[in-house]
Amino acid sequence: LGDFTRRIDTRQVNNRVIDALIKAGAFDSFGLKKSQLIAMATEALKSGQSVQKNRSAGQITFFDVFGEEAEGMGDIELTPPEIPELTEKELLTSEKEVFGFYLTGDPFNAVAPLGRVFSTHTLSGILDAGEGKICRIAGILTAYKRHITKKGDYMAFLTIEADNAALDVTLFPKSYQEYHHRLTIDEPMFMVVQTQLVDGTVKVNAEKILTLDDFNEEGFSKITLIVPPSVAMRENYQKLLGVLQKNPGSTPFLLRINSPEGPKVLLKPPARFRVNLNANLIKSWEKICGRNALKIEFPLLDAINRPNNRYRKSFKAAEG
């Protein structure tokens, strides 16, 4: 990095440009972490400016004397700090900042298993849901624009993305007032939405916006973990116990064992055995038991569509 700043025209390349080059991966071949390069950039640029200032003043430098053969001997000495690499989320955010899109991954992947069990529709599929349907969708909030209505109320137009699809969602004043504090760019959004047909086009309006914390609120999630016959063997139970122990939390669950030797067994673990419903729990359980080896229901959300549902009273209370 020091050699680079010594050679460039530092009148044209500032710290912001170097930062963008680092985030774009231009210096990945140096074998350093992006976090280290970012931390070193300012000092490297200052040193490069100093060398070039001496040249401009007519002072003879080491390289003026020995020429190209001296390359590598007089490089600016910079010691990479011992710091951790940027998180995956930070790396992806940096890519989008530079390129305008994610290059090496998708931030939704981190929560995709949870998004899958939560959603009733994909972002592309919801446009075929029809008029007036209550649906659940999930994605990353990539953009939003606030708008003031004629009455002076705030509302917002959102864009969420997942699995290479994007969807525009409208947040009307009532919902905006309740959920605007949850609008954070590049954060996962779990939404209850309603479709609306406008001039022959399906529009999507947000009714509720949920965060990861909501999934483990009391009574929000009903979890049944399923052990299929092919896995219902003693040697696998310790692995499954390990999955539960790595995801402790406050949400109760049921365990359904589909034994190859007999009928299905439904177990209710002691109250002290509770889990945190998150993407890692789903991914780890399915790795052992197979896809869809969990049944996850959301009684309070289901009550929105079923007026006579026994959870409706609880839902209204939760709404305040």
3-state helix, strand and coil shares in percent for the chain, rounded to the nearest 5:
40, 25, 35
Give yes or no: residues 234 and 185 share one domain: no
Q: Which of 152, 183, 210 is the last residue of a domain?
A: 210
Give yes or no: residues 85 and 114 share one domain: no
On whether residue 306 sits in a domain, the answer given is no
On whether residue 311 sits in a domain, the answer given is no
> What is the span of the domain harbouring residue 79?
2-99
Q: What's the pLDDT at 95?
A: 82
On whether residue 316 sits in a domain, the answer given is no
The Cα–Cα gap between 167 and 226 comes to 33
On whether residue 40 sits in a domain, the answer given is yes
On whether residue 88 sits in a domain, the answer given is yes
Q: Which of 210, 242, 260 is the last residue of a domain?
A: 210
Q: Which amino acid is at 297?
A: E
Q: Which of 67, 99, 131 is the last residue of a domain?
A: 99
Burial of residue 24 (CB within 10 Å: 0-12, 13-18, 19+) is middle
Q: What's the pLDDT at 60?
A: 55
Give yes or no: residues 144 and 204 share one domain: yes
Give yes or no: residues 94 and 115 share one domain: no
The Cα–Cα gap between 136 and 119 comes to 5
Ranges of the chain with pLDDT below 50: 68-74, 307, 309-320
Q: What's the pLDDT at 12?
A: 76
Give yes or no: residues 80 and 114 share one domain: no
Q: What's the pLDDT at 24?
A: 85
On whether residue 266 sits in a domain, the answer given is yes
Give yes or no: residues 230 and 195 share one domain: no
Distant-in-sequence, close-in-space partners of 107: CB < 8 Å, separation ≥ 6: 88, 89, 92, 93, 140, 186, 188
The Cα–Cα gap between 303 and 210 comes to 16
On whether residue 217 sits in a domain, the answer given is no
Q: What's the pLDDT at 45?
A: 80
On whether residue 303 sits in a domain, the answer given is no
Summarised one tens digit per residue, pLDDT across range 238-252 is: 999 999 999 999 999
Q: How many CB atoms lie within 10 A of CB 239?
A: 14
Summarised one tens digit per residue, pLDDT across range 254-300 is: 999 987 776 688 899 888 889 999 999 999 999 999 998 999 999 88
CATH code assigned at 126: 2.40.50.140
Q: What is the dihedral of CA 183, 188, 193, 198, to 10 degrees?
A: 70
Q: What's the pLDDT at 64?
A: 57
Give yes or no: residues 229 and 206 share one domain: no
Give yes or no: residues 244 and 284 share one domain: yes
Q: What's the pLDDT at 59?
A: 54
The Cα–Cα gap between 93 and 142 comes to 10
Count of domains in the chain?
A: 3
Give yes or no: residues 118 and 87 share one domain: no
Give yes or no: residues 201 and 289 share one domain: no
Q: What's the pLDDT at 311?
A: 38
Q: What's the pLDDT at 17?
A: 86
Give yes or no: residues 142 and 233 share one domain: no
Give yes or no: residues 152 and 230 share one domain: no
